[in-house]
A and B are shown apart, each in its own frame.
Chain A
């Protein structure tokens, strides 16, 4: 039996050279023959390997040269490197911290970008999964593009290019545990959903064909995060029964965590979606994803779906006339244009920040090189090859950057944890440091030293280092310092770009959220209640409980008015639906009126402080009435006064609502605050509604929650209270992810500013030190202290001026490319630009003041003596 070849390979490399090592190997082989155990041989390899790697035998040190010269030199380079670090601990620490902070910031930025781009969509193969979207010629569906159940079944049955077609929709369900009801985020999906997305079960199974058929046993698939959080990841979860609403579901399996992305990440359970063939064709509420068959191109599938869409319009002109279908690659679904602008900004910030940090470190390394000019000159004179010195520099740089990278990881990790904790957006909880981020950090740690070692290496390439010896050290090395000014200009310019961009972004966002919403949200407390069918079998019972709760709340001291809505304006809007004005159905190819329809109780205007432009809000008990927003009146009725008394009809729940316009009210902002206010229609609450948001106006809303809980406990004991908070808090929470992202950008900019200013400070101090003799001479010849200080100040002003102009030009350039995300702000916003200039000037003055003061205090006698 032969010895393990890998173990032999290792042993040959660690054992001493010559007969000494060979005989040890021979001993091992001999013993192995009498006891052939590979495990034993490996153990001896490890024991001997460890021993001989950590203990040089005395003979080895004296008699045997290391066979591997490279290794020998590397260890000697490392030793020299450590000696050098210890010789200038301050500079070394500064380099490590500069790099560490920059790498940490870059890693954080990268983690955001990674989440957006690389972390990937919840599908296995982005080239095969498509979203199927429908729209009419006028784009009435703007942004929603959902299909109706009946249409979905037709597409599914007729398409031949599709391997799996699936429909799904998000919703909420009541999970009943020990008599307590809890609202959970669910998605209803047809049985092919997981197949279409290319996702497998983490444990158990996901839906298989047939699970969505009527009469099939009710199954639920748990989201991985829900299973982890609520069931502690226990294996016995599968097969358990959960009561959801009135039905009992068996847990079929756990979905793979790979599917948790974007909105899908908020789904806690997957329930089968059953589509009735008889479902309404114009009730378009399902998202449609499809997986192309192998060998089918995107264009082939798109053409086939378009043909089916056209056939459906001919077949059902009333519901499908004018509607067309298109396929969208799943890659294109992530975010809109502004999303990509933000991602690009992040990537640009990372790049600029790393460039600044590298320039800064490059400067510091050059200072060290100058201090070591003598050592290097001596080594060269003694015959050191240039390659050897270059390697020395790279080894030192690499060591520093590896230490910095090691420091940056915990820093980046804790910031990401903080972001996840502070932000209400669940998506940020997915920010993490894994293989992607680690490779990114490793890449930076390897590339940075090459960049910042370039300048000293270039200096080494000069043939006349011997002059340094003759000159006796510091002054002969002035030429080495050339180019440091260029680096500082570069840093200032890059910092200015970052500052400009982030201040534009910050100002733009503040404008955006400061714009009036159209409601008086301060003083409003809100919360959601769902009177589900598990607790309240009939809608009448649910409605009665809802009204009883409202009456109880209205009687509370301090409540000025109370209203109920089925969806909270701005934060909970359900998307636009089609309207018919005065009973006229627009011909298929004409613009169809759409509006965001909200059902509310009668005193919404008072509770939200809405302003009536014509007519008045309906009274309690009025039916078949509607209030339209000013935008609706302008667009579809030709003005507020002409809207009064007209008729508007729409689907509400499962029936058509035909309503008379009794009032016109002011506009309310869009969910996407950068968009114009949408047309809105307000109608009385539908008797089938089970889910309400309650709005309470009070002079002191913060004091209400305890009494609110008491009233709810009395009137609707098993109904959980959802997000009890003030309207303003809810709005701020919704904006928090935007603030988080802009905060990150601003953080990068501030770090860039700090780095650039330390760079500037370093260069100015260095120049002052170099010119000590010159300043001394000047002072001795009668120059005043202020003249010398001015001389120093002039130098840094020059650097600032060049850097600032380049940076402003760059910043404005970037500003124009991000114009699409600037809200009510020009890329050359004077306030933003002026504040950047002011900030930079203050920083420059601060960074210059100390060296300038020091220059003016030079004692001519000492300065001249040092010559």
Chain B
């Protein structure tokens, strides 16, 4: 198990950040996760996962000044670090390895 082994939810968050690209604010990231998985992740789990990914140096964030709708509170924007991309690749590879050859059993229709 590598140092940057990713949990399932961590993978989702990282992928959602990548998909949001330049617009990766926490609100958008959550929306993206919800859209893809069909249910809203809990905010508590979501924000602490962001913190954890940051501690593992897989994401970075910068802030922008908030508008009136946020009562002037700052807005964070996330980007996935090169380490983060590397970790996602490793996870994908490991999973694909396992998925391989099981299509008959697991295919949906």
Contact = CB atoms under 8 A, between A and B. Distances in A.
B71 to A, nearest CB: 5
Interface in A4-54: 16, 19-20, 22-31, 33, 44, 47-48, 50-52
Interface string B35-52: 000000011110110011
Contacts of A31: 27
A368 B101 CA distance: 67
Interface string A78-91: 00000000000000
Nearest to B44: A51
Shortest beta-carbon contacts, A-B, top 6: A51-B44, A26-B73, A58-B55, A57-B51, A26-B70, A23-B76
9 contacts: A23-B26, A27-B26, A27-B27, A44-B43, A48-B44, A52-B48, A55-B48, A59-B54, A60-B51
Contacts of A44: 43
Contacts of B52: 57-58
Contacts of B47: 24, 48, 51
Contacts of B42: 47, 51
B74 interface: yes
Given A30-B69, A59-B51, A59-B54, 10 more contacts: A19-B76, A28-B43, A29-B69, A30-B27, A47-B44, A48-B44, A51-B44, A51-B47, A52-B48, A57-B51
Contacts of A25: 73
Given A19-B74, A58-B55, A26 B44 contact: no
Given A48-B43, A52-B44, A20 B51 contact: yes
B44 A24 contact: no
Interface in A814-845: none
Given A30-B70, A33-B69, A50-B44, A23 B63 contact: yes
A728 B47 CA distance: 76
A594 to B, nearest CB: 81
Label chain B's interface by main secondary structure: helix
A57 B47 CA distance: 9
A52 B73 CA distance: 19
Contacts of A30: 27, 69-70
B23 interface: no
B91 interface: no
Contact of B71 (A26, A52, A55, A60): A26
B75 interface: yes
Interface in B58-98: 63, 66, 69-71, 73-76
Contacts of A28: 43
Nearest to A57: B51
A26 B48 contact: no
A711 B43 CA distance: 79
B48 A51 contact: yes
B55 A29 contact: no
A59 B76 CA distance: 16
Contacts of B74: 19, 22-23, 26
Nearest to B30: A27
A359 B26 CA distance: 59
Interface string B4-31: 0000000000000000000001110000
Interface of A: 16, 19-20, 22-31, 33, 44, 47-48, 50-52, 55, 57-60
B93 to A, nearest CB: 26
Contact of B66 (A26, A48, A60): A26
A57 B48 contact: yes
Contact of A23 (B43, B45, B73): B73
A58 B50 CA distance: 11
B73 A22 contact: yes
Contacts of B76: 19-20, 23
B26 A58 contact: no
Nearest to B47: A24
A30 B74 CA distance: 11
A166 B9 CA distance: 75
Given A47-B43, A51-B48, A55-B48, A23 B69 contact: no
Nearest to B55: A58
A61 to B, nearest CB: 9
Nearest to A44: B43
A33 B67 CA distance: 12
Contacts of A55: 48
A454 B35 CA distance: 63
Contacts of A60: 51
A788 B52 CA distance: 67
B45 A59 contact: no
Contacts of A51: 42-45, 47-48
Nearest to A46: B44
B25, B26, B51, B63: residue with the most chain A Cβ atoms closer than 10 Å:
B51
Contacts of A27: 25-27, 70
B101 to A, nearest CB: 38
A23 B70 CA distance: 9
Given A44-B43, A51-B45, A26 B51 contact: no
A48 B66 CA distance: 21
A29 B43 contact: no
A704 to B, nearest CB: 75
Nearest to B26: A27
A33 B48 CA distance: 23
Contact of B55 (A16, A26, A47, A59): A59
Nearest to B27: A27
B41 to A, nearest CB: 11
B47, B54, B63, B69: residue with the most chain A Cβ atoms closer than 10 Å:
B47
Nearest to A58: B55
A28 to B, nearest CB: 8
A30 B45 CA distance: 19
B25, B43, B45, B69: residue with the most chain A Cβ atoms closer than 10 Å:
B43
Contacts of B73: 22-23, 25-26, 29
B6 to A, nearest CB: 16
A19 B26 contact: no
A23 B25 CA distance: 10
A18 to B, nearest CB: 9
A7 to B, nearest CB: 13
A240 to B, nearest CB: 54
Contacts of A52: 44, 48
Contacts of A58: 51-52, 54-55
A30 to B, nearest CB: 5
A24 B76 CA distance: 9
Contacts of B70: 26-27, 29-30
B75 A26 contact: yes
A733 B70 CA distance: 76
A51 B48 CA distance: 8
Contacts of A48: 43-44, 47
B109 to A, nearest CB: 37
Contacts of B66: 26
Contacts of B51: 16, 20, 57-60
Nearest to B54: A59
Nearest to A45: B43
Contacts of A50: 44
B48 A24 contact: no
B27, B55, B73: residue with the most chain A Cβ atoms closer than 10 Å:
B73
B70 to A, nearest CB: 4
Nearest to A34: B69
Contacts of B55: 57-59
Nearest to B73: A26
A705 B73 CA distance: 87
B33 to A, nearest CB: 14
B46 to A, nearest CB: 9
A84 to B, nearest CB: 32
A25 B66 CA distance: 11
A19 B44 CA distance: 17
A24 B69 contact: no
A27 B42 CA distance: 14
A50 B76 CA distance: 22
Contacts of B75: 23, 26
A23 B73 CA distance: 6
A510 B75 CA distance: 83
